Structure 1
Amino acid sequence: MSGCRATAGGGMNGPPLNAAPFTLGPALLFCPADRPDRYGRALDRADAAIIDLEDAVTPANRVAAREALIAHPQDPARTIVRVNPLSSPDHALDLAALAETSYRTIMVPKAESATALAGLDGFAVVALCESAAGVIAAAEIAAVDTVVALMWGAEDLIASLGGTSSRRADGAYRDVARYARAQVLLAAGAHGKAAIDTVHLDIADLVGVSAEAEDAAASGYAATACIHPSHVEPIRRAYRPSDAEITAATDILQAAKSQPGVFQHHSQMIDAPLLRHAEAVLRRAGI
């Protein structure tokens, strides 16, 4: 998989970053920043690692986590660092630690406004919209030049609303979570940015992981985040078109070369949107 090789135009305090498109994925594996023994394994097993200085690390361990981040460098082209929220006193300390590394792709949790992201020039930003305010502001956040991708988070969203569960008893997302998932995808797409689907918290539920990743890929998500190595392969399979899908897409595009405008193909009407669907299948297949 290709990495996001965004570079700072003038260093961390230089002009705004003109970030390269986000191309990491499809399986992004979280790794606690205070467990440097897992950094390399996360990169070996997934398409990219998200080294987490926030939720995966207790406040008491954050100093050690930052020290580990500096002392155990990994491939910066395939590594995202989740920092603490902009409003947190740990945020400035996280940025100071990052200044001593080559990491320049960061995930900003609880992103809630474009204005708040203005001080992050020099980084390619994955904005995590995981509160009511963040979901509502997703479009303006996606418009920020340094933002390369949006991600949504179900559990923090529900917590911000005073709720108790993002899912129904059958495991399906509640309507408010489904709305947020769609809102973040639409906001990202409207501004030409990538969208990342959230994690599946039930580690043993590989069927659920597969189903949600399949829906994410078909809907237009660029990647899915995960919290356990066992989720990586189901996610990769979900994003990888089947041989039948590749054959069908190739067949449609080949037929279109000799057909002006809308045409019928195997009893199906084919027009411009369906040709774009076929092109997307081949892009996901790397063809």
Structure 2
Amino acid sequence: MSKTPSLYLFVPADRPERYSGAIASGADAVIIDLEDAVTPDRKQEARTSLCAELNAATVTAIPVLVRINGIGTPWHSDDLAAVSDLFATGRIAGIVLPKAEAVTDIETIRAGLDRDAEIIALVETAAGLARADEIARAADRIAFGSIDFAADLCCEHSREALLLARSRLVIAARVAGKPAPVDGVTRSTRDEAEIEQDARYGASLGLKAKLLIHPAQIAPARRGLAPTEAELAWSQRILAGIGDGSAVMIDGQMVDAPVIARARQIRDDHKWTSNRQT
């Protein structure tokens, strides 16, 4: 697991009193949301609150990003100008771009920001998925807006219906040499078993990070992203038994370079998630 953030917690931009709590929640990064979490009549107020609060705050210990309104919306230009100023003063690490559908979307954002700003592109439509390879190359990381995607396709928001899309994003990120994609939100904020299972399912496909909508989701999601005890025990047996690294038989199975590589990935994932829990 790359040491990039694994858990991104959304907080509504028009609730500035929640910013500090979100930053101290134990998430790896916070996304202050100007888009879906804010109704149209409160967009300007939310943007004003965002700028005032972050400019008055000290630089945070974890990355803070802003989800702006999408290209083509009435609020996009003002959002981009505001976040550009916040990035220039070191208040935010970058932005989340909703409904990314083309490289030109990313290039437009880059033109309005410092080149070092992180851009996470949310793939939320069929058009975005169709251009996943180019979007993954242009952005710093891609994320899956699963609920919006299901609505765009008029399909069920289920693992079976969204399997192809999730796998497609994992492959696009890998080919582009970018961090593993960020999986979409779990709608339940109270069912810890569901949250953990969703995170584990995404991780099993290669989505090694997750979007969260409530601090109560942090602990179960982190458990879901971590290797299971059985996986960790297996990796320890493999790594203890490989000797000089040549092919050997362990537990009655041939262990060669790809198996050893997987065992090392599990070991590293365990170290990363354990460090984040402490």
TM-score over 0.5 for the alignment?
Answer: yes
Q: Distance in 2 between matches of 1:252 and 1:62?
A: 54
1:201 lines up with 2:187 in the alignment: yes
Q: Distance in 1 between matches of 2:250 and 2:5?
A: 35
1:81 lines up with 2:69 in the alignment: no
Equivalent residue runs for 1:211-250 within 5 Å: 211-250=197-236
Q: Distance in 2 between matches of 1:135 and 1:24?
A: 23
- Pick one of 17, 21, 26 that aligns with 1:37: 17
Q: CA deviation at 1:113?
A: 0.6
The aligned residue for residue 45 of structure 2 is: 64
Q: Distance in 1 between matches of 2:234 and 2:150?
A: 40
In structure 2, stretches of 5+ residues that fail to align are: 273-278
Describe the shift of the 1:22–1:108 C-alpha distance in structure 2 as closer, same or farther (beyond 3 A): farther
1:116 lines up with 2:116 in the alignment: no
Which deviations, in whole Å up to 9, do the C-alpha atoms of 1:115-166 show, x marking residues without a partner?
Answer: 221122222111100001001111110111xx121111122112223x2x53
Describe the shift of the 1:51–1:105 C-alpha distance in structure 2 as closer, same or farther (beyond 3 A): same
Describe the shift of the 1:259–1:98 C-alpha distance in structure 2 as closer, same or farther (beyond 3 A): closer
Q: Distance in 2 between matches of 1:238 and 1:265?
A: 27
Which deviations, in whole Å up to 9, do the C-alpha atoms of 1:219-272 show, x marking residues without a partner?
Answer: 322211111221110011112234553343233123223342x32111122122
Equivalent residue runs for 1:1-287 within 5 Å: 23-25=4-6, 27-45=7-25, 46-73=27-54, 75=60, 77-101=62-86, 102-121=91-110, 122=114, 123-144=117-138, 147-161=139-153, 163=154, 166-167=156-157, 172-175=158-161, 177-194=162-179, 195-260=181-246, 262-286=247-271
CA contact (8 A) 1:22 1:149 kept: no
SS of equivalent to 1:62:
helix
State TM-score, norm by structure 2: 0.85
**Is 115-124 or 251-260 further displaced after alignment?**
251-260
Q: Distance in 1 between matches of 2:230 and 2:15?
A: 41
Percent pairwise identity: 34
Give the aligned residue type for 2:255: I
Give the aligned residue type for 1:52: D
Q: Distance in 2 between matches of 1:259 and 1:130?
A: 43
CA contact (8 A) 1:76 1:104 kept: no
Describe the shift of the 1:181–1:228 C-alpha distance in structure 2 as closer, same or farther (beyond 3 A): same
The size of the alignment, in residue pairs, is 256
Which deviations, in whole Å up to 9, do the C-alpha atoms of 1:28-58 show, x marking residues without a partner?
Answer: 1111011011111112112221110100001
Q: Distance in 1 between matches of 2:160 and 2:78?
A: 36
SS of equivalent to 2:186:
coil
Q: Which has the higher helix share?
A: 2
State TM-score, norm by structure 1: 0.82
The aligned residue for residue 275 of structure 2 is: none
Q: Distance in 2 between matches of 1:174 and 1:266?
A: 33
